[in-house]
Every structure is written in structure tokens, then in C-alpha cells.
């Protein structure tokens, strides 16, 4: 048997490691070490690239490709200031990110959202972590957010798992996400 499982959890745009706090706690109870990281693109001064980009991809190239495939994508409530910081409208976030949460849980999440820097969004990544590390794309059946950039990742992932949740199941249904991750971590360490 190999070493104890360790999981790195990466938050999405406008969020942070806080989004994974309950999942981390549940995994810890199962004896699984989990680390939720902060994206370098979140906050007042930042830059970085997304997890699911491939070598040579940039956020701009992925979004351009997605827009070409779906020109009818709804307004996601994002505004970009002259300083390059993107802000997500509170009500758009409620509908897109927290639609399956209780009102209290949605308010808690809304209060922790942060601006996202688009600096570096046109900078291609040099390596793709998902090519060397096991990854699973988790899709919420109640997700109202268009899979604008994620569509490229869908073509590259080995496994897609659907959960009865919205866009942020790690926030609305941490129990289901922790169960899925624990199962995957154990299967990898037993191989």
C-alpha cells in the first residue's frame, strides 16, 4: 500500500480556500489530508492561470474558443474595472454560484467573494497539472452557470461525475464532494 492520500483543492474564480473548508474538515475526519489553496488571481493584486488549461492555453484563448461555440451565453454579471479587476455582481453570483444553497449559506458565500484579477489572463501556461495528476470533473445537475471555459476541460478529462447540486457543490453539498474525493483518494492509494 502506498502513502496516505493527500488532496489539493483548487477554488474557482472570485472564491478562495474558504469554499473548501467544510470538505477539508470532512476529509480530515476520514483520515485524508487535504489542502485548499488560494488562487493567485483572487484579491487586489494578483495574476495566474487556471488549473484546467493545457500547455499553451491561456484564459483568454479558452474563453474565446468557448464564445465561438456559444455566442448566446447569458450575461454572467461580471464587470471589469480599468485596473483589470473583475467583479461578480451579487445577485448574479447568488443565481449562478449559490442557487442550491439555503438563504443563510448563500449570504455567507456572497460575503466572502473577492474581485479577480485578469492580469496574466492572456499568458499561456507552460505545464498542465491535470496531465500528471488524477482529476475528475464534477458537474452539478442544478448548475445554472454556463460551462464557458470548462468545456475545454470536459474534452480532456477521463471522468465526469454529476452530483445533485449547483455550481459550487463544495459549498452547498460538501458531504457529497468529500465522499467522492475520499473514495477516489482511497482507490488511488490502494493501486
Which cell numbers hold the place of 128?
A: 498542465
pTM listed for this prediction: 0.78
- What's the pLDDT at 151? 56
39 φψ region: left (φ > 0), alpha (ψ -120 to 50), beta (else): beta
Structural domains counted in the chain: 1
- What's the pLDDT at 16? 93
With respect to residue 81, please indicate whether it lies within any of the assigned structural domains: yes
With respect to residue 141, please indicate whether it lies within any of the assigned structural domains: yes
- What's the pLDDT at 165? 96
CB contact at 8 A, 76 and 93:
no
Q: Count the Cβ atoms, other than its own, within 10 Å of residue 135.
A: 19
- What's the pLDDT at 5? 74
Q: Which domain holds residue 180?
A: 6-190
Of 139, 137, 170, 176, nearest to 20 by C-alpha is 170
Of 93, 96, 95, 99, nearest to 113 by C-alpha is 93
Please write the tens of the pLDDT for every residue from 26-63: 999 999 999 999 877 665 446 443 445 555 555 545 54
- What's the pLDDT at 157? 66
Q: Count the Cβ atoms, other than its own, within 10 Å of residue 90.
A: 13
With respect to residue 164, please indicate whether it lies within any of the assigned structural domains: yes
Burial of 62 (0-12, 13-18, 19+ CB in 10 A): buried
The series of mean pLDDT values per 10 residues for the chain, 191 residues long, is 74 91 97 90 51 53 46 61 86 94 97 85 69 78 71 67 94 97 82 54
Q: What is the CATH number of the domain that holds 61?
A: 3.40.50.1820
With respect to residue 1, please indicate whether it lies within any of the assigned structural domains: no
- What's the pLDDT at 188? 77
With respect to residue 178, please indicate whether it lies within any of the assigned structural domains: yes
Amino acid at each position: 500500500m502506498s502513502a496516505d492520500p493527500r488532496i489539493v483543492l483548487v477554488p474557482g474564480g472570485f472564491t478562495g480556500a474558504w469554499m473548501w473548508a467544510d470538505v477539508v474538515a470532512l476529509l480530515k475526519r476520514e483520515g485524508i489530508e487535504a489542502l485548499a489553496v488560494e488562487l493567485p488571481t483572487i484579491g487586489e493584486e494578483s495574476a495566474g492561470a487556471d488549473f484546467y488549461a493545457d500547455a499553451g492555453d491561456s484564459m483568454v484563448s479558452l474563453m474565446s474558443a468557448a464564445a465561438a461555440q456559444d455566442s448566446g451565453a447569458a450575461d454572467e454579471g461580471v464587470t471589469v474595472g480599468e485596473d483589470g479587476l473583475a467583479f461578480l455582481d451579487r445577485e448574479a453570483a447568488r443565481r449562478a454560484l449559490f442557487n442550491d444553497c439555503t438563504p443563510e449559506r448563500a449570504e455567507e458565500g456572497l460575503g466572502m467573494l473577492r474581485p479577480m484579477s485578469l492580469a496574466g489572463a492572456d499568458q499561456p501556461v507552460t505545464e498542465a497539472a491535470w496531465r500528471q495528476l488524477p482529476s475528475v470533473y464534477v458537474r452539478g445537475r442544478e448548475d445554472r452557470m454556463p460551462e464557458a471555459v470548462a468545456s475545454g476541460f470536459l474534452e480532456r478529462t477521463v471522468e465526469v461525475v454529476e452530483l445533485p447540486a449547483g455550481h459550487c457543490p463544495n459549498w452547498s453539498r460538501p458531504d457529497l464532494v468529500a465522499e467522492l474525493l475520499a473514495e477516489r483518494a482511497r482507490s488511488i492509494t490502494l493501486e
